[in-house]
Amino acid sequence: MKAFSVSKAVTALMLAGLVLLPLYSHLTGNIFILTLFTRIIILALAAASLNLIMGFGGMMSFGHAAYLGIGGYAVGMLAQEGVGSGFIQFPVALAASATYALVIGALSLRTRGVYFIMITLAFAQMAYYVASGLARYGGDDGLTVYKRSDFSGLINLGDRMQFYYLCLACLLGVIFLIWRIVNSRFGLVVQGLRSNEQRMQAIGFAAKRYQLVCFVISGTMCGLAGALLANNTDFVSPAVMYWTRSGDLMVMVILGGMGTLFGPIMGAVVFLLLEEFLSQITEYWALIMGPLLLLIVLFGRGGIMGALGRAGRG
């Protein structure tokens, strides 16, 4: 184990950049960059949660965006009904996501491989259509959140910089949690199940139970991202649950490097910045983005973290 490696250095630089960004934004008066990075951090949180089951647990969920919607709608619906307190909204968002994850996880984990990819997708599409049918809460058009979650006395989400740091703290907290989980006995069992489920079962581990708990933890984390996202955009609509959004999250995880702690953050930053950058030079940014993804899959095994690791060795 080397003390210094390229991937560690880049990760440290990125984290330092994320911590100092509001300072830069404050000094230059560039508010856009702060808003952009708030969104990036929230989606990085969602990608990190997906990475827990996908990278470490080997469970390829293609319906992870559903939790973004569930967390978001929990905030939006409560706000609509006059419950503005974040101390109620956020726990409800987390509990709702956990419950959804528990139910669909219990059903989906009966299948494996491509069937698992497709059944998680099917459940997410169901959630999408349920949200589209909620006429009281905007239906297809979505729901405007007129007032951000109220954490009076603690933090003011209306303030851009405070909100940014809240999101960053949530992200780092989740990464810390994932780090602890992955290195715990529980995490080792889950990773063992990814490598060889039969063998783990033969040693006497109740495979599905471990995977289900991991699935629920991941879903709850993503629900948090959803609650933050609704606060960030002041709006939640069924579109956040659409399957292409789940695809985006998968792309971020793979781009950054599956099964690495900081890969998903890297992936989210690069993916969303690329999207932003390309959309500024040309309206037809996807024309470049699409083949780029193809090339990354074909030649960039292990994502950015993998490439950095190779650079460190070479």
* Amino acid identity at 78: L
Collect all residues with Cβ–Cβ distance below 8 Å to 304 and sequence separation of at least 6: 255, 256, 257, 263, 266, 267, 270
- Residue 137 in contact with another protein, rule: CB under 8 A: no
- Residue 239 in contact with another protein, rule: CB under 8 A: no
CA distance 82 to 147: 10
- Residue 31 in contact with another protein, rule: CB under 8 A: no
**Which of residues 111 and 152 has its CB atom nearest to another protein in the complex?**
111
**Which of residues 134 and 161 has its CB atom nearest to another protein in the complex?**
134
- Residue 278 in contact with another protein, rule: CB under 8 A: no
Answer yes or no: are the C-beta atoms of 246 and 64 closer than 8 Å.
yes
Smallest gap from Cβ 309 to another protein, in A, equals: 19
Task: Pick one of 56, 123, 215, 262: the residue that binds another protein (CB under 8 A).
Answer: 123
**Which of residues 247 and 312 has its CB atom nearest to another protein in the complex?**
247
CA nearest to 127, candidates 44, 62, 206: 62
Number of residues that bind another protein (CB under 8 A): 47
Q: Of the ranges 11-19, 89-97, 128-136, 156-164, which one interacts with another protein (CB under 8 A)?
A: 128-136
Answer yes or no: are the C-beta atoms of 272 and 39 closer than 8 Å.
yes
Helix (H), strand (E) at residue 265? helix 263-281
Smallest gap from Cβ 85 to another protein, in A, equals: 28
- Please name the residue that has the structure tokens 């139970």: 209
Site for another protein in 78-117 (CB under 8 A): 107-108, 110-115, 117
CA distance 20 to 3: 25
Characterise 300 by phi-psi region: left (phi > 0), alpha (psi -120 to 50), beta (else).
beta
CA distance 25 to 33: 7
**Which of residues 121 and 167 has its CB atom nearest to another protein in the complex?**
121
Smallest gap from Cβ 209 to another protein, in A, equals: 17
Task: Pick one of 176, 201, 290, 310: the residue that binds another protein (CB under 8 A).
Answer: 290
CA distance 140 to 110: 32
Task: Give the up-direction half-sphere exposure of residue 54: CA atoms within 13 A in the CB hemisphere.
Answer: 29
Q: Which residues bind another protein (CB under 8 A)?
A: 54, 60, 62, 107-108, 110-115, 117-119, 121-123, 125-126, 129-130, 132-136, 139, 243-244, 247, 250-251, 254, 258, 284-287, 289-294, 296-298
